[in-house]
Structure 1
């Protein structure tokens, strides 16, 4: 009987201990609450105030940092816009100065000397049927005046400073390159407008036809003109700065 009482007591104690363990009951925490004296309370209050102040400073720094990041992003966008504008201007300059390959609608003006009969033609008629350097210069000027945006003589890209000279059976250019007949002059622009301007009365192309030179004008939907190989740099002129 005595052994049974001990057994039940141990069994009951085990159950109570198990319940306490399962509910995370901490006997040591009982009576752990302590009262602070005046100095400890003052120190704790000051520490809490300092922590609040540090948190406030961190929030302000965070806001300032975000503002700087936004400013940098706006500045980067502004610089990127300026850079893109500069690149666009460079592309435009390359188009007009012949430094880039271009394509577009236009015409092909084919010119070559007329049929010369040395036995029947006089000296004047013979010279009249030959396509000279001054003829080329006048034709190029007429194309520019008619609105040609890009011009090429055979494989030679015509640029603003292009000059021509007669070199026997060839047309020579300012970079010492030469092109021979027949001359295929490619011009990008409004095909109808270019053709009309070249064939109107008083034009030099019309005069070439009257002089019995071979002249043919072909309209095309797309013409490709290669860039110039003459990358000439200015040696004497410089930009005028008006202060």
Structure 2
């Protein structure tokens, strides 16, 4: 082989190598792009799956939250109902205490002053009938009963609350009121109720007012806009009386 032929073959080999490397240089980015595309698709698919899982978890959490909210609403409704029942019970207890006289009360009504007849010549000349001219426990009972019949809602004698079981009895020159109280005249009787109706009851022909006036005893009555009557301080104990069940 001549020197020129060797040169030609060398140049040809170099060209072939350059062409090969040129082709590889052009194909390299394409292959890399394909690999990158495959990796991107896998990543996208993974992200999509993760998104679906998160959406499912969100739905589960939303359902749990909804259940908790419904349960909380039930609790709130139950609490509201219990509060209503509690308030109703409290009102009933207060009403029972009011009826039992265990609460101080105030309101319009009348005030009555009862007193013995003042000493005069008639009493001096007739000492044996002096008992007819003093206030007795029976007189007090008549007055209290008339007040009750006229609709008095609360009654007090000299500041002592009078109930159905209150004792009013004679104690010599004094009158026993309740278990421990003893009062001498004058006696101040206060009653809460309709003032006009309470006043009118003592204007009736059979009222004790006329009898006491006839014997010369002092009987003064007046309307009062605001009367305060204290709570009953005695004992309310039922030993023999028992409640009857509705189904009995």
TM over 0.5: yes
Q: Would the aligned equivalents of 2:113 and 2:220 in 1 still touch at CA under 8 Å? A: yes
Aligned counterpart in structure 2 of residue 86 of structure 1, from 86, 89, 97: 89
1:33 is displaced (CA, Å) by 5.0
Aligned counterpart in structure 2 of residue 56 of structure 1, from 47, 55, 59: 59
Distance change in 2, residues 1:242/1:81 (3 Å): closer
Structure 2 gap ranges (5+) = 1-31
Q: Deviation string for 1:185-204 (max 9, x for gaps)?
A: 00111111111102221111
1:92 is displaced (CA, Å) by 2.0
1:208 equivalent in alignment to 2:188 = no
Aligned to 2:104: 101
Partner of 1:87, secondary structure, is helix
Pairwise CA RMSD: 2.7
The whole-number CA distance in structure 1 between the counterparts of 2:37 and 2:242 is 89
TM-score w.r.t. the length of structure 1 is: 0.77
Greater than 4 Å deviation, 4+ residue runs: 30-34, 36-48
Structure 1 gap ranges (5+) = 1-29
Distance change in 2, residues 1:242/1:87 (3 Å): closer
Aligned to 1:20: none
Alignment of 1:216-227 (within 5 A): 216-227=220-231
1:190 equivalent in alignment to 2:197 = no
Aligned to 1:236: 240
Q: Would the aligned equivalents of 2:162 and 2:178 in 1 still touch at CA under 8 Å? A: no
Could you say which structure has the larger radius of gyration?
2
Aligned to 1:123: 128
The whole-number CA distance in structure 2 between the counterparts of 1:33 and 1:69 is 52
Q: Would the aligned equivalents of 2:107 and 2:193 in 1 still touch at CA under 8 Å? A: yes
Aligned counterpart in structure 1 of residue 74 of structure 2, from 71, 84, 97: 71
1:34 is displaced (CA, Å) by 4.9
The whole-number CA distance in structure 1 between the counterparts of 2:207 and 2:113 is 16
User: Number of matched residues?
Assistant: 213
1:123 is displaced (CA, Å) by 3.2
TM-score w.r.t. the length of structure 2 is: 0.76
